[in-house]
Amino acid sequence: MTIAIDTIVNILATITSVSVAVATLGFWLGKKFNEIDYRFRLIDERFKAIEKEIRTLRDAIIQYNELLLSILESRGVVTKGEAVVLRGYLESLKPSATSKYYTKEVEKRLDELLAKEPEQLTLADVRSLTG
């Protein structure tokens, strides 16, 4: 009978040891996964900031090129035909409407204004986009 009690005590001690080890490992893994999740969230925020900066840079480059094209056309460096082709290319780089501020209506109005000749643009045209 004592052998049976010793065996049961040994089995319970082994089960307890294994249970404590598994619980400790589970706790440690949970903590590590939380740390990894936190780091991924930080990386995601950094990528969003980088995406925003890239969009801003792209928009600045497009605006610069449009201005440069207008200057070159007004000085006769490029012909009206070349300017039309280049404007078409610049228009293809323009972002599509994806926010509550840059709506389909604003995009359509911008397309209308870009289709005009520079001499036909008025201050009211520009204000129609900002107001």
Q: How far is CA 97 from CA 72, 87, 94, 104, 123, in A?
A: 29, 19, 10, 5, 23
The pLDDT of residue 44: 92
pLDDT tens column, 9-28: 888 889 999 999 999 999 99
pTM beyond 0.75: the answer is no
High-pLDDT (> 90) share of the chain, %: 24
Q: What is the dihedral of CA 81, 86, 91, 94, to 10 degrees?
A: -170
Is the confidence at residue 31, as pLDDT, over 90?
yes
Q: How far is CA 8 from CA 21, 84, 112, in A?
A: 20, 91, 87
pLDDT tens column, 63-96: 788 888 888 888 888 888 888 888 888 777 776 6
Counting other chains too, the contacts that 93-99 makes at CB distance below 8 Å and 24 or more residues apart are 93/58, 93/62, 94/62, 95/55, 95/58, 95/59
Whole-angstrom distance, CA of residue 45 vs CA of residue 39:
10
